[in-house]
Amino acid sequence: NAGVTQTPKFRILKIGQSMTLQCAQDMNHNYMYWYRQDPGMGLKLIYYSVGAGITDKGEVPNGYNVSRSTTEDFPLRLELAAPSQTSVYFCASSYVDDTQYFGPGTRLTVL
Amino acid sequence: GDSVTQMEGPVTLSEEAFLTINCTYTATGYPSLFWYVQYPGEGLQLLLKATKADDKGSNKGFEATYRKETTSFHLEKGSVQVSDSAVYFCALTGAVGGGADGLTFGKGTHLIIQP
Select from B2, B8, B17, B3 the least CA-distant residue to B79.
B17
| C-alpha torsion sign, points B64, B65, B68, B69 | negative
> Does pLDDT of A70 surpass 70?
yes
Identity (one letter) of the amino acid at A52?
A
Whether the predicted pLDDT of B4 surpasses 70: yes
Which residues on B lie below 8 Å from A44 (Cβ)? Answer: 105
Higher pLDDT, A16 or B8: A16
B43: three-class secondary structure by DSSP: coil
- Checking B55-60 for CB contacts under 8 A at 24+ apart, the result is B57/B33
Q: Is the peptide bond before B115 cis (omega within 30 degrees of 0)?
A: no
Express each pLDDT in B77-97 by its tens digit: 999 999 999 999 999 986 554
Taken as a whole, chain B contains a residue count of 115
Give, in order, the Cα–Cα distances in Å from B83 to each of A27, A43, B17, B49, B52.
29, 23, 13, 21, 30
The pLDDT assigned to B40 comes to 87
Convert the pLDDT of each residue in B14-62 to its tens digit. 999 999 999 999 988 788 999 999 998 888 999 999 999 999 999 999 9
Q: How high is the mean pLDDT of chain A?
A: 93
Confidence of residue A36 (pLDDT cuts 50, 70, 90): very high
- In this prediction, residue B100 has a pLDDT band, given cuts at 50, 70 and 90, of low
Strands A106-110 and A10-13: parallel
Best mutation site among A93, A98, A106 for testing chain B: the one with the most B CBs within 10 Å?
A98
The mean per-residue pLDDT over the stretch B101-106 comes to 85
Residue A104 reports pLDDT greater than 80: yes
Contact A45 B101 (CB under 8 A): yes
CB neighbourhood size of A83 (10 A): 10
